[in-house]
């Protein structure tokens, strides 16, 4: 057999280290006898753990990419020149080579009247653009300015000093800047690269897409390599019969239940029936008790499908556990919110609901299928933050929200190890499984003990190394 990649000295938590031979996107062989031949591409795991790649079961790719590519450069997030420099340098480290840094919300209270020279001292190599809070002015570093001046050498918006040298401040030149910067801003490529560094090999985009063009753009990013992860997409009910562009997987029909004007029971049943006719499961957004009750009643009336999902399930009163189990639906929860918003919940949520927030352990014990997603950019995008929050239930201030819901570390990791189409069924590192893998710098037991994204040394999608952090 000709292998595309052989991972050597992998710790799968067994008695001895193994080799993993990969061909055509699939794991072909796993065992202590698997060795690389001279022509094989080799990735030496050096005794580190190899896990199935992480799948973020609920994310919004476009919004997360937009959030990633804009750096907040003004109050309240940023005050003072030192902080400004820190956030710009942080973006510099994160982005692919050549991509623009786009910062917004600048105000002169941060570091005075910014110009190209100040920005060059912070980030000299890649183009940077910082938008003033007023929206009328961009300040560019020299690398960015050169690109704009190359296409637009004369424009009344170009501010110049007494010697005629451009200061980097450009007034009302958004179109000119966008024309050169827009194409090189990182978008999905940066999002994909950051996720790859953290071991993410797959995404399920839970946006209720109505427009086929939006799906086409994701497919294009997959096809041209900007987006390295496997992607499953949802659509809104109006696009239930949509065709899935090649290179993507079509997931459930996403149904949003608006809290202010809760959809009627009959209307929801009709949406579910329409999805069934199109051969698709549904994923119902439920953050309140009322939404969950409505969703489950409709699924009971129409008949559940084992690929149906409840998104978020922020509040699940235990009396609904039996229904969730009977329907066979998967709860795709977001433990990252326990960390990110837990302190607010402790202060604001009704006491009778507090114990039922983002339940994990008790749901699993009740036989309900549970998986998780980051809900980035609304929740923390780092999947390791999510699994640690599922294991500790710790809020930012160190309070513990629902201690009875804490999963053990291995279970917490399992929230992200499922298949896109069956999120609560774990993949494994075994022959026949997809070659979507995450290689860590530490042995299996240590990796499970610490659940730390800094330990990811390489990420493999369909047998291709998409991130090498070594």
Binding site for Zn ion (CB under 5 A): 206, 375
Report how many helices (DSSP H) and strands (DSSP E) the chain contains, helices first.
17, 22
Shortest distance, position 232 Cβ to Zn ion, whole Å: 14
Cα separation of 332 and 310, whole Å? 6
Closest CA to 366 of 319, 300, 415: 319
Token digits of residue 346: 């402790």
Cα separation of 232 and 234, whole Å? 7
Shortest distance, position 337 Cβ to Zn ion, whole Å: 11
Closest to Zn ion by CB, 206 or 440:
206
30, β-bridge pairs = 20
Shortest distance, position 294 Cβ to Zn ion, whole Å: 18
Token digits of residue 75: 């109050």
Cα separation of 295 and 272, whole Å? 10
Shortest distance, position 372 Cβ to Zn ion, whole Å: 12
Report CA-CA distances (Å) from 39 to 35, 42, 149, 391. 12, 9, 49, 42
Closest to Zn ion by CB, 148 or 206:
206
The count of residues in the chain is 470
Shortest distance, position 296 Cβ to Zn ion, whole Å: 19
Token digits of residue 36: 């690389």
Closest to Zn ion by CB, 371 or 448:
371
Residue 164: other Cβ atoms inside 10 A: 6
Closest to Zn ion by CB, 59 or 145:
59
Closest to Zn ion by CB, 337 or 444:
337
Asked if 200 contacts 383 with a C-beta cutoff of 8 angstroms, the reply is yes
Shortest distance, position 59 Cβ to Zn ion, whole Å: 8
Shortest distance, position 58 Cβ to Zn ion, whole Å: 6
Closest to Zn ion by CB, 71 or 283:
283
Shortest distance, position 363 Cβ to Zn ion, whole Å: 19
56, β-bridge pairs = 203
Closest to Zn ion by CB, 208 or 414:
208
Shortest distance, position 286 Cβ to Zn ion, whole Å: 11
Sheet holding 249-256, edge to edge: 54-59, 200-209, 230-235, 249-256, 282-286, 309-312, 330-333, 369-372
Closest to Zn ion by CB, 283 or 305:
283
Closest to Zn ion by CB, 308 or 375:
375
User: Using CB atoms, what's the residue nearest to Zn ion?
Assistant: 375
User: 298: helix, coil or strand?
Assistant: helix
Shortest distance, position 206 Cβ to Zn ion, whole Å: 5
Closest to Zn ion by CB, 65 or 206:
206
Chain-centre distance for alpha carbon 101 = 20
Token digits of residue 399: 């309070």
Sign of the CA dihedral 456, 458, 461, 467? Answer: positive
Cα separation of 385 and 118, whole Å? 34
């Amino acid at each position: 057999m000709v292998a595309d990649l052989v991972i050597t000295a992998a710790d799968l938590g067994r008695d001895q280290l193994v080799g993993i031979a990969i061909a055509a996107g699939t794991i072909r062989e796993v065992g202590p006898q698997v060795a690389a031949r001279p022509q094989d591409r080799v990735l030496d795991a050096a005794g580190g753990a190899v896990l199935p790649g992480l799948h973020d079961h609920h994310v919004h790719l476009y919004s997360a990419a937009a959030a990633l590519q804009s750096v907040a450069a003004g109050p309240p997030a940023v005050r003072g020149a030192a902080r400004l420099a820190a956030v710009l340098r942080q973006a510099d480290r994160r982005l692919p080579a050549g991509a623009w840094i786009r910062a917004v919300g600048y105000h002169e209270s941060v570091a005075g009247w910014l110009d190209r020279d100040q920005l060059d001292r912070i980030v000299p190599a890649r183009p940077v653009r910082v938008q003033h809070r007023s929206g009328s002015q961009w300040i560019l570093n020299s690398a960015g300015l050169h690109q704009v001046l190359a296409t637009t050498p004369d424009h009344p918006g170009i501010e110049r000093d007494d010697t005629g040298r451009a200061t980097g401040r450009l007034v009302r030149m958004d179109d000119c800047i966008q024309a050169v910067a827009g194409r090189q801003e990182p978008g999905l490529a940066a999002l994909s690269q950051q996720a790859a560094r953290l071991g993410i090999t797959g995404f399920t985009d839970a946006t209720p897409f109505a427009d086929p063009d939006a799906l086409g753009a994701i497919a294009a990013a997959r096809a041209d390599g900007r987006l390295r992860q496997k992607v499953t997409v949802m659509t809104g009910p109006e696009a239930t019969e949509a065709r899935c562009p090649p290179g993507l997987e079509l997931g459930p029909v996403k149904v949003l239940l608006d809290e202010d004007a809760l959809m009627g029971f009959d209307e929801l049943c009709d949406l579910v029936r329409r999805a069934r006719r199109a051969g698709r499961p549904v994923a119902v957004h439920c953050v309140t008790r009322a939404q969950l009750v409505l969703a489950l009643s409709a699924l009971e009336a129409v008949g559940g499908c084992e690929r149906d999902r409840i998104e978020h399930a922020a509040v699940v009163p235990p009396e609904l556990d039996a229904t969730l189990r009977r329907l066979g639906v998967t709860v795709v929860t977001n433990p990252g919110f326990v960390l990110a918003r837990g302190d607010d919940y402790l202060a604001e949520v009704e006491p009778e609901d507090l114990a039922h927030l983002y339940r994990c352990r008790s749901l699993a014990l009740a036989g309900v299928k549970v998986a998780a997603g980051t809900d980035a950019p609304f929740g923390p995008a780092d999947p390791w933050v999510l699994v640690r929050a599922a294991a500790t239930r710790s809020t930012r201030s160190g309070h513990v929200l629902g201690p009875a819901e804490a999963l053990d570390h291995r279970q917490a990791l399992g929230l992200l190890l499922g298949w896109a189409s069956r999120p609560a069924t774990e993949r494994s590192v075994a022959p026949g499984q997809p070659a979507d893998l995450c290689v860590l710098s530490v042995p299996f037991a240590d990796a499970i003990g610490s659940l730390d994204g800094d330990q990811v040394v390489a990420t493999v999608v369909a047998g291709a190394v998409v991130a090498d952090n070594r």
